[in-house]
A = this chain, B = another copy of it.
């Protein structure tokens, strides 16, 4: 029951992009530095996020990544599911068509719903907002 480091990097990267006010693409190198993520690893993650439809990019000089949708419409759950695969903790149980008369599937279902109640209802806009509330007088990461 854990989110991989890769998943965490993905969340931080999207958060970084969601927090930018100025329009225009952001360089991988910048995200990598601000979020302390190994750049080459981040490249793979951003490419995957792009395939998932969360990000868009532009190459060449002055290229970079930017959100494909408004931050109010990207949930943590969506990003995490795309990077980590299913988040259902009990998905392996009785996967071979074993006992149907088990209480576990129902139980895991409850767990999944509880989880979903948080991760699928929190957007990156929410995260940025919370972050700003806590840092009204401090300088923002992305305002250098």
Binding site for B on A (CB under 8 A): 1-3, 5, 8, 11-12, 15, 36, 76, 80, 84, 87, 89-93, 98-99, 101-104, 106-107, 110-111, 114-115, 117-119, 122, 127-128, 130-131, 134-135, 138, 141
Contacts and interface: CB of A to CB of B under 8 A. Distances in A.
B106 A130 contact: yes
B87 A8 contact: no
A89 B89 CA distance: 11
Majority SS at the chain A contact face: helix
A127 to B, nearest CB: 4
A138 B101 contact: yes
Contacts of A114: 114-115, 117-118
Number of this chain's copies in the assembly equals 2
Contact of A107 (B92, B106, B111, B122): B122
Contacts of A110: 118, 122
A54 to B, nearest CB: 17
Given A3-B1, A8-B92, A93-B8, A111 B103 contact: no
B3 A98 contact: no
A11 B111 CA distance: 15
24 contacts: A1-B84, A1-B87, A1-B89, A2-B2, A3-B89, A3-B90, A8-B93, A11-B104, A99-B141, A101-B135, A101-B138, A102-B131, A103-B128, A103-B130, A103-B134, A104-B127, A106-B130, A107-B118, A107-B122, A107-B127, A111-B118, A114-B114, A114-B115, A114-B117
